[in-house]
C-alpha cells in the first residue's frame, strides 16, 4: 500500500427498468427465459452508460472545479438510482430456476453498489451530492503550518523526513483537523446507505459489503479474523522491536518503552506503514549496500521511466505492451495549474482498452512499487475484457489489489533490481535482515490497519457506533489491533477517520487486508511454478513467461466464477492463507525474537 492507493471505482451504470403491467388480473410468474433476457438488457445498458460515467469521473478527479464536481455528482446520482432499481428488479427472480451464469449475474446485480440509494425520489441525488462533497473536501484539504499552507503531499513528506516530535505532532494534528467538517455529511451518507441496503434485503450497508465474497457475511467476518490470527504473533514481535527502537531514539518522555506507539512517530500520516522510519529502527550492526530512492535518482529515472520499467516487467511475463493511448491520457505527476485527486489509481475507462493510471509520482522506491502495483490493475482489466460486463472485475476485490502487489514484491527484490540493471550485484545473505525489515515495516505493519478500517465502518453501519462516538471507537480499534495511540488528547469534535481517503471516499478497505495476504500466497505459488529453490524473499518473477501464462489464465476469469475457483486456477489453493507471508519473513521473525528477549511486549 502507498498511503492511499487503489484502482478506480468500477462505477456501475444501470438504465431504468420499465416494468410492464400485465393486463391479466394474475401477473405471469417470472421464468428462466425472462431472467436471462433481463440480465442481457441490464448488461447492455449499464455497459453503455458506464463509459460516460467513467469519463466524467476521470475529469472530476484530474480537474477539480465546481463544474466538474456538479457533473460528477449528477452522473453518480443517475448511476445510483438506476443501479438501485436494477438491484431491486433482480430480486424478482429469487427462487427462479436459472442457469448458473444467469444466477451469478443476478446476484452480482444485487451486490454491485457499495452505497445503494433508497428507491425513492431524491435519495440518489442527495447521496451523490454528499459523496462528491466528501471526495472534494478530502482532495482539496490544506492546513497552515510554519507560515506555509500544506497539502497532504507536503504533510506526508514531513511525516517521513522529520524526527522532531513537536513538528510531527503539529503536522499530524493539522492534517487530521481538516476532516472535522466532514462528520455531519458522513453520518448522513451512512444513514442513506443503510436505507438503500435495507431496501435490498440487508440489515445494513456493512452486511451488504460482507456479502460480496461468495460466502455468508458472518463467515467472511470470521475468515478475516482467522487470517489475522495467523499473523498477529509476528506483528506483535515487530511492534515490540519498533517501539523499543523509538524509545531508544526519543526517550521515555516522547515514546515510552511499554504501551501503544505514538501514531505520529511511525513515518506515515495514518501509521499504516512504517518504512519511513527505517533509519530509526535499522539494525546498527548490519548495513544495506544500497537505498532504492538513491539508486533510482542516480540512474536518471523520471516518473515516466518508472512506469515504462513497470510495463517492461509485465512484458517479461508475456503480456502485450500498453496501448499508445495509455501514455497520452494517463496523469503521472501532479499538475501545478489545478486541483486533482493525487490518490494513485488505475482505470479502464471504456472497459475494453482505454487503460490509464492517475498518480502524482515522485522518483523514489515507494512510487516505483506504486507503478508496478497500479499497472497490475490495468493488466487485470485487460485480461478480462472479453468477459460479459457483470464479470468484468477481480475474483474478489482483494484479488485486484493482490495482483499489483505480487508485481510489487518482485519490484523491491534485489534479484529484480539486478536483473534490470539498477544495482550491479545481488547483496549477500548478510543483508537479508535489513531487506526483510524494510519490507515488514510496510507489508506486515499494514495488516492490522487494513483489517480495522472496515471493522470500524461495520460498527458504524450497524448502529453499534453512533456519530457522537465515531472518534472514540476509531481509536479503540486502532489501539486494539495496531497498538498505536494519538500523540495527545483528541478534540471533542475530531473526526479522525475522515482524514483517511478511503473513509471520505467510501471505498471498502478489507480488500487491502486480503491482498496483503494473497500477494504472498500467489508469490509462493509463482516461485514454485518457476522452479525457484532459494529463500522466498529472493525470488523474482521477471522473465517467467510460463508463470505469466498461468497468471493470465486466472485473470481472464474475471468475476465469472467464485473466487476460490480462481485462486485454485493459479495457486492450487481454495482459501486465504497467511502461510506464504510467514515463510517469506521467517528469517526476520527469528531475528526479531532474539532482539526483544528482554522487552515487555504487548500494550
Q: What residues act catalytically?
A: 343-344, 373-374, 377, 401, 502, 512
What are the backbone angles phi and psi of residue 346, rounded to the nearest 5°?
A: -115, 140
Handedness of CA 511, 515, 521, 523 (dihedral sign): positive
Closest CA to 210 of 201, 221, 200, 199: 221
End-to-end CA distance of the chain: 25
Are 240 and 281 a contacting pair, CB within 8 Å? no
Are 458 and 508 a contacting pair, CB within 8 Å? no
d(CA 466, CA 477): 15
In the 3-class helix/strand/coil scheme, how is 48-69 assigned residue by residue?
A: HHHHHHHHHHHHHHHCCCHHHH
d(CA 165, CA 158): 11
d(CA 595, CA 603): 18
DSSP state of 478: I
DSSP 504-563: HTT---HHHHHHHHHHHHHHHHHHHHTT--S-GGG---TT-HHHHHHHHHHHTTTTSS-H
Neighbour-count burial for 155-184, b at 16+ CB within 10 Å, e otherwise: bbebbeebeebebbbbbbbbbbbbbbebbe
Are 423 and 412 a contacting pair, CB within 8 Å? no
Q: Quick one: 430 exposed, middle or buried, by C-beta within 10 A (0-12, 13-18, 19+)?
A: exposed
User: Which are the contacts of 8, defined by CB distance < 8 A and separation ≥ 6?
Assistant: 54, 57, 345, 346, 347, 358
DSSP state of 480: I
Q: Which residue has the cell 479474523?
A: 225
Q: How many CB atoms lie within 10 A of CB 406?
A: 26
d(CA 372, CA 239): 28
d(CA 207, CA 47): 27
Are 212 and 396 a contacting pair, CB within 8 Å? yes
Neighbour-count burial for 468-487, b at 16+ CB within 10 Å, e otherwise: eebbebbbebbbebbbbbbb
Q: Quick one: 219 exposed, middle or buried, by C-beta within 10 A (0-12, 13-18, 19+)?
A: exposed
d(CA 114, CA 212): 10
Strands 148-150 and 143-145: antiparallel
Amino acid at each position: 500500500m502507498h498511503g492511499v492507493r487503489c484502482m478506480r471505482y468500477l462505477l456501475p451504470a444501470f438504465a431504468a427498468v420499465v416494468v410492464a403491467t400485465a393486463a391479466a388480473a394474475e401477473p405471469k410468474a417470472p421464468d428462466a427465459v425472462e431472467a436471462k433476457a433481463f440480465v442481457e438488457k441490464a448488461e447492455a445498458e449499464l455497459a453503455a452508460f458506464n463509459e460516460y460515467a467513467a469519463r466524467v469521473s476521470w475529469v472530476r478527479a484530474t480537474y477539480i472545479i465546481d463544474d466538474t464536481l456538479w457533473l460528477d455528482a449528477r452522473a453518480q446520482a443517475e448511476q445510483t438510482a438506476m443501479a438501485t432499481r436494477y438491484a431491486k428488479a433482480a430480486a424478482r427472480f429469487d427462487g427462479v430456476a436459472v442457469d448458473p451464469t444467469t444466477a451469478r449475474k443476478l446476484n452480482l446485480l444485487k451486490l454491485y453498489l457499495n452505497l445503494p440509494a433508497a428507491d425513492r425520489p431524491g435519495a440518489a441525488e442527495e447521496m451523490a451530492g454528499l459523496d462528491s462533497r466528501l471526495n472534494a473536501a478530502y482532495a482539496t484539504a490544506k492546513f497552515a503550518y510554519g507560515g506555509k499552507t500544506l497539502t497532504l503531499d507536503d504533510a506526508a513528506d514531513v511525516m517521513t523526513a522529520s524526527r522532531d516530535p513537536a513538528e510531527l505532532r503539529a503536522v499530524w494534528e493539522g492534517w487530521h483537523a481538516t476532516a472535522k467538517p466532514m462528520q455531519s455529511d458522513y453520518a448522513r451518507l451512512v444513514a442513506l446507505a443503510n436505507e438503500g441496503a435495507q431496501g435490498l434485503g440487508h440489515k445494513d450497508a456493512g452486511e451488504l459489503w460482507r456479502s460480496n465474497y461468495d460466502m455468508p457475511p458472518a463467515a467472511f467476518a470470521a475468515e478475516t479474523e482467522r487470517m489475522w490470527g495467523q499473523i498477529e504473533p509476528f506483528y506483535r514481535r515487530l511492534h515490540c522491536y519498533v517501539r523499543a527502537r523509538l524509545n531508544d531514539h526519543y526517550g521515555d518522555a516522547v515514546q515510552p518503552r511499554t504501551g501503544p506507539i505514538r501514531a505520529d512517530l511511525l513515518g506515515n500520516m495514518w501509521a499504516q506503514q512504517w518504512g519511513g522510519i527505517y533509519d530509526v529502527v535499522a539494525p546498527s550492526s548490519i548495513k544495506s549496500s544500497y537505498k532504492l530512492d538513491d539508486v533510482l535518482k542516480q540512474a536518471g529515472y523520471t516518473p515516466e521511466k518508472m512506469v515504462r520499467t513497470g510495463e517492461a516487467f509485465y512484458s517479461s511475463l508475456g503480456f502485450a505492451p500498453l496501448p499508445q493511448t495509455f501514455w497520452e491520457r494517463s496523469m503521472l505527476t501532479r499538475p501545478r495549474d489545478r486541483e486533482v485527486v493525487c490518490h494513485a489509481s488505475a482505470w479502464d475507462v471504456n472497459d475494453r482498452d482505454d487503460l490509464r493510471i492517475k498518480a502524482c509520482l515522485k522518483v523514489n522506491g515507494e512510487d516505483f512499487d506504486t507503478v508496478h502495483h497500479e499497472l497490475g490493475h490495468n493488466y487485470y482489466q485487460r485480461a478480462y475484457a472479453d468477459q460479459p460486463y457483470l464479470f468484468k472485475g477481480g475474483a474478489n476485490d482483494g484479488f485486484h489489489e493482490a495482483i499489483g502487489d505480487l508485481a510489487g514484491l518482485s519490484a523491491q527484490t534485489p534479484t529484480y533490481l539486478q536483473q534490470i540493471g539498477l544495482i550491479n550485484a545481488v547483496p549477500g545473505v548478510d543483508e537479508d535482515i535489513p531487506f526483510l525489515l524494510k519490507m515488514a515495516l510496510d507489508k506486515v505493519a499494514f495488516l492490522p490497519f487494513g483489517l480495522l478500517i472496515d471493522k470500524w465502518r461495520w460498527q458504524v453501519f450497524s448502529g453499534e457506533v453512533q456519530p457522537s462516538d465515531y472518534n472514540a471507537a476509531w481509536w479503540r480499534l486502532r489501539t486494539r489491533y495496531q497498538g498505536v495511540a494519538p500523540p495527545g488528547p483528541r478534540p471533542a469534535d475530531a473526526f479522525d477517520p475522515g482524514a483517511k481517503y478511503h473513509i471520505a471516499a467510501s471505498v471498502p478497505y478489507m480488500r487491502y487486508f486480503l491482498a496483503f495476504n494473497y500477494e504472498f500466497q500467489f508469490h509462493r505459488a509463482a516461485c514454485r511454478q518457476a522452479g525457484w529453490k532459494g529463500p522466498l524473499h529472493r525470488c523474482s518473477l521477471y522473465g517467467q513467461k510460463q508463470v505469466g501464462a498461468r497468471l493470465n489464465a486466472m485473470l481472464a476469469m474475471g468475476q465469472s466464477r467464485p473466487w476460490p475457483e480462481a485462486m485454485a486456477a493459479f495457486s492450487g489453493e481454495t482459501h486465504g492463507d497467511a502461510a506464504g507471508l510467514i515463510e517469506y519473513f521467517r528469517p526476520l521473525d527469528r531475528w526479531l525474537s532474539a532482539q526483544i528477549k528482554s522487552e515487555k511486549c504487548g500494550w
